[in-house]
Amino acid sequence: MTYKYQFLVIGSGIAGLIYALQSSKHGRVAIVTKSGLYDCNTDYAQGGIAAAIDAKDSFAEHIEDTYQAGAELGKRQVISEIISSGPALIQYLIELGTDFTRLDESYDTSLENLSLTMEGGHTKRRVAYAADSTGHQIMEALIEQCQANENIDIYENRIAIDLITQHHVKQDEGFIPGISCWGAYVLDTVSNQVDIFQASKTMMATGGASQIYAHNTNPSVATGDGMAMARLAGARLANMEFVQFHPTAFWSPDGNTFLISEAVRGEGGILRLSDGQAFMEAYHPKGNLAPRDVVSRAIDAELKKRGEKYCYLDATGVDKSKLLSHFPFINAKLLSFGIDFTIDPIPVAPAAHYFCGGVLSTIDGLTDIRNLFVAGEVACCGLHGANRLASNSLLEALVVAYRAANHPSNLEEVDFPIIPDWHLRDEFNENEWVIISHNREIIGTIMHGYAGIRRSRRLLKYALSRLENIYNEINNFYQHNAVRKEVVETRNMAVIAIAVVRSALMRKESRGAHFLIDNPERDDRNYKHDTII
């Protein structure tokens, strides 16, 4: 079946829904999401959204904090434009219905009444939040707006397989130069039918890819689908080696992990070893509020030194009423594990959390491929550099998606070629897939062991060889069997794992989230540039 829209949005996080709401002013919009609307990284975001709102703060200070946290690899002009747009667009979220935590719980919804918290790498309290469920509050407001919008249609349980480009169409009447996107082939995961979603403009807002690591904080949908599709269609990827590990993911023996917000440390939580010793002051002047890459490496080094699997985040010195009012979600989750964090320290360890790199794009979300926009974690527009400053992710997604939806090119007329139906295969070899499906778990193990917080060139080369064999095995199965969601996801994970390792091998220095034991120092003379593949 062929669906025809002016705008196609792939993904249902903050970037996708903001783009959908804004572009719906110009035409009909289809939102395609591979699970439910709430199954996205935005909904998992606890901490908040950073912006220089307080009178004691300034854009200049937020810009400098972002640039320094990114190990001086971010683009200053991009950083400046995104940060200066922050306050106005947070006000826009409030007007859409986002219920941020306020200083005075009256109906005063002005920016001056927002409660602000502190997080690692920031020099001022500038993180607006909604308790410890900021992302969920934003999602509730945006989903309500999209569902009420007559120009927006929502398709759940649909996974985009491939972008529709010159690779798919017959060019019998002459070559079509360059690469253009005319929508996507989309699999209905309930019926296993593949449909054509034809669109003049496509927004890729598919989030990150931390599922390629065995230990991560992301929902199961974060398998790098958008990055992989763009890569396979001919777009460039940038800075894929910079995978940020969140320092404080809850640790449990069964691997059931969830995020312990950086704001817990912002309010006074202290990292301690098993003997109760605080250690972060030995690694950075900001101690427990050092940038994430520094804290993750410090924890990793201390745990390996002691042969232990986790350390503790001690919030028992923080006022109990503040803990319970600011972190109700974390409190409830911890209580389900028998931990009262007002009197007990929390076992934590680093876990893969966020991709600072992604599909190379402008601040307006434009990519190498005509008619294709990207925004959010799938994109690399130059804000984060080598390491993301805490709570800049929702800010980036909001600003870039808003700008993309209001870009003049959205009003262009697009000529469509004849788009062929997806070549359906009837058979699916279950016996063969049972064997190959283990590759998803193997990818996670390889990446965690060989391309994690601390890397070596020898192990990265070994990982690349293993991953390329895995990709060939999966892709061969993909080419000869009926398409299924699990096959597409595993293919995409292999594509992105290879991109991360290749990028890591290209950077023979340590910078931000990329730490190479062969070259532990930063090399500004030779490597103060982006890694492009």
Q: Three-class SS of residue 265?
A: helix
Residue type, 453: I
DSSP 8-state code for residue 345: P
DSSP 8-state code for residue 160: E
Short-list 202, 188, 195, 185, CA closest to 158: 188
Helix, strand, coil content of the chain in percent (nearest 5): 40, 20, 45
Specify burial of residue 58 (Cβ count, 10 A radius: 0-12, 13-18, 19+): middle
CA distance linking residue 360 with residue 196, whole number of Å: 26
* DSSP, residue by residue, 385-446: TTSPPTT-HHHHHHHHHHHHHT-GGGG------PPPPP-------HHHHHHHTTHHHHHHHH
CA distance linking residue 447 with residue 469, whole number of Å: 14
Cβ pair 533, 499 in contact under 8 A = yes
Which residues, in sequence order, are bridge partners of residue 163?
184
CA distance linking residue 246 with residue 119, whole number of Å: 12
Question: Which candidate in 158, 292, 440, 502 is catalytic?
Answer: 292
Place of tokens 């901490």: 47
Backbone angles phi and psi of 27, in degrees to 5: 170, 180
Place of tokens 């996107």: 181
Short-list 490, 487, 494, 492, CA closest to 194: 487
Side-chain-facing half-sphere of 443: CA atoms under 13 Å? 32
Using N-to-C axis directions, what is the helix angle for 457-480 and 485-506, rounded to 10°?
Answer: 150
292 counts as catalytic: yes
Residues identified as active-site: 292
